[in-house]
């Protein structure tokens, strides 16, 4: 099988790995919000992530896996830019 020409954005990959995806209804808005948020705040605390997520309602999760995924993506992006 040939490798895919497409790859996930680091945030999408982190959501996948952290089990931050549920039904998918809120996921596009959360990903878009968090991508912009990480551009402005590349090393956020969990509290700042929660604050940035305040406008996105998710009925399926307790948000913990989403926060974990955002931190994972931030750490990976920080590591990628420091090399």
Domain ranges in the chain are 19-82
Overall fold of domain 19-82: DNA polymerase; domain 1 (1.10.150)
Contacts of 81 (CB under 8 A, 6+ apart): 42
One digit per residue, the tens of pLDDT, for the chain of length 83 reads 455 668 999 999 999 999 999 888 999 999 999 999 999 999 999 999 999 999 999 888 789 999 999 999 999 998 876 65
Sign, CA dihedral 24-26-29-33, equals negative
């Amino acid at each position: 099988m040939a490798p895919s020409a497409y790859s996930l954005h680091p945030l999408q990959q982190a959501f996948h790995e952290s089990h931050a995806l549920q039904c998918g209804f809120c996921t596009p808005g959360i990903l878009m919000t968090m991508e912009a948020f990480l551009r402005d705040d590349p090393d956020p605390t969990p509290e700042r992530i929660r604050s940035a997520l305040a406008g996105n309602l998710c009925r399926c999760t307790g948000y913990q896996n989403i926060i974990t995924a955002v931190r994972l993506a931030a750490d990976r992006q920080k590591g990628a830019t420091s090399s």
